[in-house]
Structure 1
Amino acid sequence: MLKSYFKTALRFLLKNKTFSFINIFGLAVGTLCCLYILLYVQQQYSYDKQHTNAKNIYRITASMVLTGDKHSFASVSPPVAAALKSDFPEVKSYTRVLKTDNLGAKEHLLRYQEQSFYEKGAFYVDSTFFDLFSYHFVEGKAPHALDEPYSIVLLKPIADKLFGHESALGKVININDQWVKHDFKVTGVVDESLGKSHIEGNMFISMKSGETGTSLANDGEWAGNNYTYSYIELKPGADAKALEKKLPAFLNKYAGQKLKNLGIQKVMNLEPVTTIHTTSGYDAEPSKTADPSFLLILVLIAVMIQVIACINFMNLSTARASKRAKEVGVRKVIGAGKFDLIQQFLGESFLLAFIGVIIALPLLWAVLPYLNSITHTDIRLTFFSDYRLWLMLASLVIVTGFVAGSYPAFYLSAFEAVKVIKGNFSSKISAAGIRRSLVVFQFVLSIVLISGIVIIYSQLNYIKAKDLGFDQSQKLVFNFYTSDAQNRMAALASDLRQLSGVKAVSSADNYLSQFIMHDHGVYPEGGNMETAIDAQNITCDQYFVKANGIKLLSGRDLMQGDSGKVLINQTLAKRLNLTEQTAIGARLYSHYAPNPAWYVTVAGVMKDFNYNSLHNDVRPFMLIYDTHAWSFNSMVVATNSKNYKALLSQISAVWHKNLPLVPFEYSFLDSEVQKQYETEIVLSQIINSFTLIAILISCLGLFGLAAFSAEQRRKEIGVRKVLGSSVSGIVKLLSVDFVKLVVISFIIATPIAWYGMNKWLQAFAYRVTLSWWMFALAGMMALFIALFTVSFQAIKAALLNPVKSLRSE
C-alpha cells in the first residue's frame, strides 16, 4: 500500500510540475530560513553547557542602589568569592576572573623572537579557573596550569600565530600593555571544540602575576570595587536558592556598617553559568550577550516563514482538489476508508516536506557565509555531526508535513464517492473560504514583517540623525595599549596639532560611546555619602571639550594646571540641587573609608549629552582634569579636512615618527557610536533578508492561486471578451478579490504590528513615535506586491483568444 501511495504521489508531482515546483521550492526556502534561525538560537543557548559540572556553577552578581540610582553588575568585590567558600560548606570551589579591558588594557603587544602583534581578550584568572571551566587542552593539562606566577594559557589561534606548527608548551613570550611588561611561560593551549563560553578569552593569565595579582589579593573592599567576575561551584545536591537567601546576612556581616555609612543598598545574587550568555541587563559583561527578546523575535520570524510556506501548500492543494477528486472517488469505491485517504495525503505532505529539507541542506551550505555575515556569528557545517541537528531536521519534517498537509488531507478525504464520479466536486468543507482565510493570514504575517522593517529603519535613522549633544563627525580615535606608547602621547598630540587639517587633539582614559567603568559618589558642602550622587566620569586633558564639540552652559572649560577641577553635566547639577550658576566653584566631596575624603571643584557645567547609547537616559557625569600619561589610553583627533586620504597620510607620518614600532590603527568616532546599536542593526539585516524570503514564498503562493483562479474562470473571461470587455477590465476583475484580502490583512496586521514594535521601542530611552504612515507604507507595499504578482496571471488570462477558451462549449 505504501508503495502504491508513493507511486501515486510521485506521478501527481511529475504531472503537475508548476504546482510541485511552487510547493517544494517554497518549503525548501522556508525550511532553510527556519533551520538556520533555529541553529543560531540553539548556538546562543548552548554557551557554557560544556562544563563538566555546569549545573552547579554560579556567577555572583551585585545590584546596588545609591540615592535612587540602581546599578546591576555582572561582577562583585574581590573578597566575596573566597569568603563564600570559607563561610558556607556547600561551596565546593571558587574562581575569579578579571578582564584586562576593565583595567584599561584593551590590547596587548605579544612578542616571541621576531614575531609580534597586538591581541585582545586577555583575562587574569585564579589558578582554579580550569577546575571549574572545561576547556579542551591541545597542549598541556588543566590541573595546575596556572599555579605559578607569570604562567599563561593561550587559545589555539593565538598560539598558531606566535609559534606556527611548533609546540607552544614551555615557550616564553613577552607581553607589553598598559599595566605589565614581562615574560610569560606558556603552560597550555586550549581550543573551543567543547563549546563556547561567555568568557571569550584569547589568553588566560595567572592572577598571581605582578601588581594586578597583588592588588587584587590585598583588596578588601566590600562595598565598592565591583570589578571581579566571581564564580562558585556548589557541591552536588546543594540548593542554590537556599544559599542565595543567606547572602543578605552574609553581606551584612562583612560590609553592613560601611554600606550604611555610604548610603548604599547592595544585594548579591547567584546566576547559573548556563544562562549568562542569554541574560541581559548587567553592566560590564565580559563579552557581548544575546538579548533573549532578540532571540524570541528570531524564533517568531522562523515560525512565520515556515507557516507562510505551509499555507502555500494548503492553498494550492485544496485549489487543485478537482484534479484528484475522481481519484478519491475511485479509491473509496474500491474500499479505501477516510483514514486511509488521510494517511495517503499526509504521507504525500511528509514526502514534500522531506524533499524540501533535502533541497534546503545544500542551499544552506551555499548561503551559510552570507547568513553568518548577517548575524555576525560562525555557525559551521560541523553542527551536522550534532545529534540535536538531526532531531531538529526530523521535527521540521514532521511538523511541516503535518501542518501543511492536515487540511488538504481532511478536505480531500471528505469528498463523497458517488458525487465526484458523477462530476460533482463539492465538499462539506468550504475550500474557498478556508483559502481566503489562509491568504489573509499569510499577508498578515508579511505586513507585520514589513512594518518591522519600516519602524526599525525609522529608529536607526532617528539614532543617526539625533543630536547627541557632542560632535561625532570627522573625529579619529586612536588607542594606546602599552605604557611605552602612552608615554609618547603628549609628544604625538603636540605634533598632530601642527597639521593644518587638525582642529583639536585630546587625550583621556576613555572616549565617548564606550562603556564607562569609573564612577564616584559625590556630594556638595554639608552633605555626606548617604546622600551622595553616583557620577560616572572620564579623566581627560584640557582639550576634551573642544575636541568633542561639547557645549558649556556656564563657567569655563578646563585649563592647563587645573588640578582638582571638574566639569559636570546638567543632570548631575540638578541631582545635587545646584543651578548652572551656583554650581560654579562648588566643591564636590567623596569619601570611601578607610581612604581619606577628597574633593574637586566645579569649573563649569556642560549641556547634557548622550555619552552612552540612546537605550538609556543621560546619567550624572563629570570630566576630571588630569595630566598623568599613565591614566590616558585613548586620543580623539578632530579634523576639518575634506581630503581624508592626504590628512591620514600626514597623520601616519607623524605617528611613525613618534611610535615607530606601533601599528598605525584608527577608527572613526561616528562608527564607534553606531556600534552601540549592533544588535538593532543585526536585527534589521535579519528582518530585511528573511522578510524578502517570506514575501517571495507568499508571491509564489499567490502566483499559483491566481493561475488557478484564471483557469477556473477561463470560459467566463472568454464570454466577457466576446461581449466587449477590455483587457484592463478583465485584469481588474481577476485582481479585485486579492486586493480585498490584502486590505483585510492590513486591518488585522496593523494593531499586531503596533503592539509588537511598541514593545521593541521600549528598550530605547529615546525613540521615534509610531505614526500611521509607517503602517500605511507597509500596507501599500504589501498591496503592490500582491498586485504585481497577480497581474502576471491576470494579464495572461485577459490576452487569451476567447475562441480557444469557448471552443469546448
Structure 2
Amino acid sequence: MLKSYLKTAWRFLLKNKTFSLINIVGLATGTLCCLYILLYVQDQYSYDKQHKDVKDIYRITTTLELTGDKHDGAASSPPIAPAMKNDFGEVLQYTRLVNTDGFGAKQHLLRYKEKSFYQQDAVYVDSTFFDMFNFHFVSGNANKALAEPYTIVLLKPVADKLFGSEDAVGKMISIDNSFGKHDFKVMGVIDESAGESHIKASIFMAMNSGGLGDYVRKNTAWAGNNFLYAYVKLRPNTNAAALEKKLPEFLNKYGADQLKAIGMKKALHLQPVTSIHITPGHEHELTKTLDPSFLYIMILVAVLIQVVACINFMNLSTARASKRAKEVGVRKVIGADQGDLMKQFLGESFMLTLIGVAVALPLLVVLLPYLNQVTHSDIRLTFFINYKLWVMLAGMVLVTGLVAGSYPAFYLSAFKAIKVIKGNFTNHISAGGIRKTLVVFQFWLSIILISGVIIIYSQLNFVKNKDLGFDQNQKLIFNFYTATTQGKMKNFANDLKGLAEVKTVSNADNYLSQFVPHDHGVYTAGGNMATATDAQNINTDEFFAKANGIKIIAGRDFRIGDSSRVLINETLCKRLGLNPQTAPGTRLYTQYAPDPVTFVEVAGVMKDFNYNSLHMQVKPFMLVYQKDPQYFNVMVVSTDSKNYKSLLGKMESLWRKDVIDAPFEYSFLDTEVQKQYETEVTLSQIINAFTVMAIVISCLGLFGLAAFSAEQRSKEIGVRKVLGASVTGIVQLLSKDFVKLVLIALAIATPVAWWAMSKWLQAFEYRVNISWWMFALAGMLAMIIALVTVSSQAIKAARMNPVKSLKAE
C-alpha cells in the first residue's frame, strides 16, 4: 500500500512539473531560512554551556546609586570576590578578569625574534581562571598555566602568527603596552572549539605580573573601582538566591565607611554565567550581549516563513482541485475510503517536503559563509555531526508535511464520488475564501517585514545624519598603545602641525564615541560627596574642544598652562544648580577617602553633545585639563584635505621618522561613531535577507495562483476578447482580486508593525517618529511586487488566441 502511495505521488509530481517546482522551491527556501535561524538561535543560547559545573558559576554584578543616578554594572570592585571566598563557606572558588581596554591598553605590541605586531583583546586573570572556565588547550596544561608571574596563554591564531609551526609552550615573548614592556613565558595555547563564551580574549596574562595586575591585587576599594569582572563557583546544591540575600550585610561589613564617604548606595548580585550573553541591560559588558526578545522574533520569523511556504502548497493544491476531482471520484468508486485518500495526499506532501529539505541542505552549506556574514556569527559545518540538527530536520519535515498537506488532503478526500464523476463539483472545490485568507496572511507578513526594514533604515539614517553637537568629519585618530610610543607623541604632533592640510592636533586619554572609563563625583561649595553629581570625564590638552568642534557657550576654552581647570557640559551645569552664564570661575570639589578634598575650577561651559551613542541620554560630563603628557595615549587630528591618499602618505613618513618601530595605524572618527550601531546594522541585514526570502516564497505562490486562475478563467477571457476586451482590461480583471487582498493585508499589518517597531525604537533615547508614509510605502512596495507577479501571468492569458480556449465549446 505504501509503495502504491509513493508511486502515485511521484507520478503526480512528474506530471505536474510547474506545480511541483513552485512547491519544491518554496519549501526549500523556507526550510533553508527556518533551519539557519534555528541553528543561529541555538548557537546564541549555547554560550558558556561547555564549562564544567557551569550551573554553579556566577558573576558578581553591581548596582550603584549616586545622587539619583542608578547604574547596573557587569563589573565589581577588586576585593569583593576574595572576601566572599573567605567569608562564605558556600563559595568554593573565585576568579577575576580585567580587560585592559579600559586602562588605555587597547593594543599590545607582541614581539618574538624578528616578528612583531599589535594585538588587541588582552586580559589579566587570576591563576584560578582556567580551573573555573573550560577552554580547549591545544598545547600546555590548564592547571598550571598562570600560576607563575609573567606567564601567558595565547589564542591559537595569535600563537600561529608568532610562532608558525613551532611549539609555543615555553617560548618567551615581549609585550609592550601602556603599562610598560615585559617578557612573558607562554604556558599554553587555546582555541574556541570547546564552545562559545562571553569571555573573548586573545591574550590571557597572569594577574600577578606587576602593573595593572598588582594594582588589582592590592586594591582595597569597596565603593569605587568597579572595573573588574569577578566570578564565584558555589558548592553543589547551594541556593544562590539565599547567598545573595547575605550580600548587603557582607558589603556593609567591609565597605560602609567608604560608601558613606562618597554618598553611594551599592548592591551586589549573583548572575548565572549561562545567562550573561542573553541578558542585556548591564553597563560595561565584557562583550556585546543579545536581547532574548530579538531571538524570539527570529524564531517567529522562522516559523512564519515556513508557514508561508506551507500556505503555497495549500493554495496551489486546492486551486488544482478541479484537476483531481475525477481522480478522487474514481478511487472512491473502486473502494478507496477517505482515510486512504488522505494518506495518499499527505504522502505527496511529505514527499515534496523531503525533496525540499534535500535541496535546502546543500544550499545551506553553500550559503553558510554569506549567512554568517549577515548575522555576524560563526556557525560551522561541524553542526552536521550534531544530533540536534537531525532532530530539528525530522521535526520540520513532520510538522511541515502535516501543516502543508492536512487541509488539501482533507479537502480533496471529501469529494462525493457520484457528483464529481458527473462533473458536479463546483460547490465542493470553491475554497476561495480560505485561499484568499492565506494570501492575505502571506502579504501581512511581507508588509510587516518591509515596514521593519523601512523603519530600521530610517533610524540608522537618522543616527548617521544627526547633529551630535561635535564635528566628526575629517578627523583622524591615532592611538599610542605603548609607553615608548607615548613618549613620541609630542614630536609627532609638532611635525603634523607643519602640514598644510592639518588644522588642529590634540592629545587626550580617549576620543569621542568611545566608552568613557573615568568618572568623579563633584559638588559645589557647601556640599559633600553625599550630594555629589557623578560626571564622566576625559583628560585632554588645550586643543581638544577646538579639534572636535565642541561649542563653548559660556566662559572660555582651555589655555596653555591652565592648572586644575575643567570644561563642563550643560547637563552637569544644570545638575549642579549652576547658571551656565555665571558658572565659569566656580570651584568643583571631590574627595575619595583617604585622599584629601581636591578642587577644580570651571573654565567654560560646553553645549551638550552626544559623546556616547544615541542609545543613551547625554550625561554629566567634563573635560579635564592636563599638561602632563603621561596622561595621553590618543591623538585627534582635525584636517582639511581633499586628497587623503596624499595626506596619509605624508603622515606615514612622519610616523616612520618619529615613532620608528610601531606600525602606522589610524582610524576616522566618523567611522568610529558609526561602529556604535553595529548591532542595529546587523539586525537590518538580517531583516533585509529574510524579508527578501519571505517575499520570494510569497511571490512563488502568487505566481502559481495567478497561473491557475488564468487557466480556470480561460474561456471567460476568450469570450471577453471576442467581444472586444483589451489586453489592459483583462489584466485589470485578473489583478483586481489580488490588489484587494494586498490592501486588506496592509490594513491588518500596519498596527502590528507600528507596535513592534515602537518597541524596538525605545532602545534609542534619540529616535525617528514613526509616520504613516512608512506603512504606505511598505504597502505600495507589496502592491508592486504582487502586481508584477500576477501581471506576468495575466498578460500571457490576455494575449492568448481566444480560438484555442473556445474551440471545445
The answer for the alignment partner of 2:627 in structure 1 is 627
> Is residue 2:483 matched to residue 1:476?
no
1:59 and 1:270 in contact (8 A); partners too: yes
1:636 partner SS: strand
Aligned pairs for 1:522-533 (under 5 A) are 522-533=522-533
CA distance in structure 2 between the aligned counterparts of 1:420 and 1:88, rounded to whole angstroms: 81
The answer for the alignment partner of 2:148 in structure 1 is 148
The answer for the alignment partner of 1:751 in structure 2 is 751
> Is residue 2:421 matched to residue 1:421?
yes
CA distance in structure 1 between the aligned counterparts of 2:302 and 2:389, rounded to whole angstroms: 16
CA distance in structure 2 between the aligned counterparts of 1:391 and 1:632, rounded to whole angstroms: 56
Once the two structures are aligned, what percentage of the paired residues are identical?
A: 67
Deviation string 1:614-637 (CA, Å, 9 cap, x unpaired) is 011100000001123332121111
The answer for the alignment partner of 1:276 in structure 2 is 276
Backbone CA RMSD of aligned residues: 1.3
> Is residue 2:212 matched to residue 1:212?
yes
Aligned pairs for 1:404-483 (under 5 A) are 404-426=404-426, 431-483=431-483
The answer for the alignment partner of 1:53 in structure 2 is 53
1:374 and 1:682 in contact (8 A); partners too: yes
2:33 and 2:690 in contact (8 A); partners too: yes
1:124 partner SS: strand
Instruction: Extract structure 1 runs of 4+ deviating beyond 4 A.
Output: 426-430
1:210 partner SS: coil
* Of 340-349 and 612-621, the range deviating more from structure 2: 340-349
> Is residue 2:684 matched to residue 1:684?
yes
Deviation string 1:314-370 (CA, Å, 9 cap, x unpaired) is 111111122222232233333333333323322322221221111111111112222
Tell me the amino acid that sits aligned with residue 307 of structure 1.
Answer: V
CA distance in structure 1 between the aligned counterparts of 2:339 and 2:256, rounded to whole angstroms: 72
> Is residue 2:300 matched to residue 1:300?
yes
The answer for the alignment partner of 1:714 in structure 2 is 714
| Deviation of 1:275 (Å) | 1.0
1:601 partner SS: strand
| Deviation of 1:648 (Å) | 1.0
The answer for the alignment partner of 2:325 in structure 1 is 325
CA distance in structure 2 between the aligned counterparts of 1:402 and 1:596, rounded to whole angstroms: 75
CA distance in structure 2 between the aligned counterparts of 1:774 and 1:24, rounded to whole angstroms: 34
CA distance in structure 2 between the aligned counterparts of 1:635 and 1:240, rounded to whole angstroms: 46
The answer for the alignment partner of 2:371 in structure 1 is 371
The answer for the alignment partner of 2:781 in structure 1 is 781
The answer for the alignment partner of 2:698 in structure 1 is 698
CA distance in structure 2 between the aligned counterparts of 1:73 and 1:798, rounded to whole angstroms: 67
Aligned pairs for 1:116-515 (under 5 A) are 116-426=116-426, 431-515=431-515
Deviation string 1:636-690 (CA, Å, 9 cap, x unpaired) is 1111111111111111111111112111111111111001010111111111122
Aligned pairs for 1:31-110 (under 5 A) are 31-110=31-110
* Of 573-582 and 628-637, the range deviating more from structure 2: 628-637
| Deviation of 1:392 (Å) | 1.9
2:511 partner SS: coil
CA distance in structure 1 between the aligned counterparts of 2:202 and 2:342, rounded to whole angstroms: 57
1:154 and 1:190 in contact (8 A); partners too: yes
* Of 709-718 and 586-595, the range deviating more from structure 2: 586-595
The answer for the alignment partner of 1:613 in structure 2 is 613
Tell me the amino acid that sits aligned with residue 28 of structure 2.
Answer: A
CA distance in structure 2 between the aligned counterparts of 1:556 and 1:2, rounded to whole angstroms: 89
CA distance in structure 1 between the aligned counterparts of 2:85 and 2:338, rounded to whole angstroms: 67
CA distance in structure 2 between the aligned counterparts of 1:347 and 1:537, rounded to whole angstroms: 69
Tell me the amino acid that sits aligned with residue 332 of structure 2.
Answer: K
1:287 partner SS: coil
2:502 and 2:638 in contact (8 A); partners too: yes
2:144 partner SS: coil
Taking structure 2 as the reference length, the TM-score comes to 0.98
CA distance in structure 2 between the aligned counterparts of 1:428 and 1:80, rounded to whole angstroms: 75
2:261 and 2:592 in contact (8 A); partners too: no
2:321 and 2:429 in contact (8 A); partners too: no
1:321 and 1:412 in contact (8 A); partners too: yes
2:322 and 2:429 in contact (8 A); partners too: no
The answer for the alignment partner of 2:674 in structure 1 is 674
CA distance in structure 2 between the aligned counterparts of 1:672 and 1:350, rounded to whole angstroms: 51
Deviation string 1:118-169 (CA, Å, 9 cap, x unpaired) is 1111110000001110011111111121110001111111111111111111
> Is residue 2:16 matched to residue 1:11?
no
1:180 and 1:210 in contact (8 A); partners too: no
The answer for the alignment partner of 1:639 in structure 2 is 639
Gaps of 5+ in 2: none
Aligned pairs for 1:22-33 (under 5 A) are 22-33=22-33
Taking structure 1 as the reference length, the TM-score comes to 0.98
* Of 551-560 and 305-314, the range deviating more from structure 2: 305-314
1:476 and 1:666 in contact (8 A); partners too: yes
| Deviation of 1:372 (Å) | 1.7
The answer for the alignment partner of 1:791 in structure 2 is 791
CA distance in structure 1 between the aligned counterparts of 2:738 and 2:623, rounded to whole angstroms: 62
The answer for the alignment partner of 2:598 in structure 1 is 598
Gaps of 5+ in 1: none
The answer for the alignment partner of 1:580 in structure 2 is 580
CA distance in structure 1 between the aligned counterparts of 2:235 and 2:20, rounded to whole angstroms: 58
CA distance in structure 2 between the aligned counterparts of 1:528 and 1:502, rounded to whole angstroms: 44
Tell me the amino acid that sits aligned with residue 219 of structure 1.
Answer: N
CA distance in structure 1 between the aligned counterparts of 2:125 and 2:225, rounded to whole angstroms: 17
Aligned pairs for 1:553-564 (under 5 A) are 553-564=553-564
| Deviation of 1:426 (Å) | 4.4
Tell me the amino acid that sits aligned with residue 391 of structure 1.
Answer: V
Tell me the amino acid that sits aligned with residue 603 of structure 1.
Answer: A
2:499 partner SS: coil
1:330 and 1:421 in contact (8 A); partners too: yes
1:588 partner SS: strand
| Deviation of 1:474 (Å) | 0.7
CA distance in structure 2 between the aligned counterparts of 1:112 and 1:342, rounded to whole angstroms: 72
Paired residues in the alignment total 809
1:222 and 1:255 in contact (8 A); partners too: yes
Distance 1:715 1:118, change over 3 A: same
Deviation string 1:708-766 (CA, Å, 9 cap, x unpaired) is 10000000111111111111111111000000000101110111111111111111100
CA distance in structure 2 between the aligned counterparts of 1:167 and 1:591, rounded to whole angstroms: 51
Deviation string 1:581-601 (CA, Å, 9 cap, x unpaired) is 221111111111112221111
| Deviation of 1:506 (Å) | 1.0
1:59 partner SS: strand
1:552 and 1:607 in contact (8 A); partners too: yes
1:415 and 1:427 in contact (8 A); partners too: no
Tell me the amino acid that sits aligned with residue 289 of structure 1.
Answer: T
Distance 1:329 1:534, change over 3 A: same
Deviation string 1:79-114 (CA, Å, 9 cap, x unpaired) is 111111111111111100011112210010111111
Tell me the amino acid that sits aligned with residue 263 of structure 1.
Answer: G
Deviation string 1:172-194 (CA, Å, 9 cap, x unpaired) is 11100011311101111111111
Tell me the amino acid that sits aligned with residue 404 of structure 2.
Answer: A
> Is residue 2:796 matched to residue 1:800?
no
| Deviation of 1:515 (Å) | 0.8
1:414 and 1:427 in contact (8 A); partners too: no
Tell me the amino acid that sits aligned with residue 434 of structure 1.
Answer: I
2:701 partner SS: helix
2:583 and 2:605 in contact (8 A); partners too: yes
| Deviation of 1:429 (Å) | 7.9
Tell me the amino acid that sits aligned with residue 757 of structure 2.
Answer: M
2:378 partner SS: coil
CA distance in structure 2 between the aligned counterparts of 1:591 and 1:412, rounded to whole angstroms: 83
1:415 and 1:426 in contact (8 A); partners too: no
* Of 378-387 and 507-516, the range deviating more from structure 2: 378-387
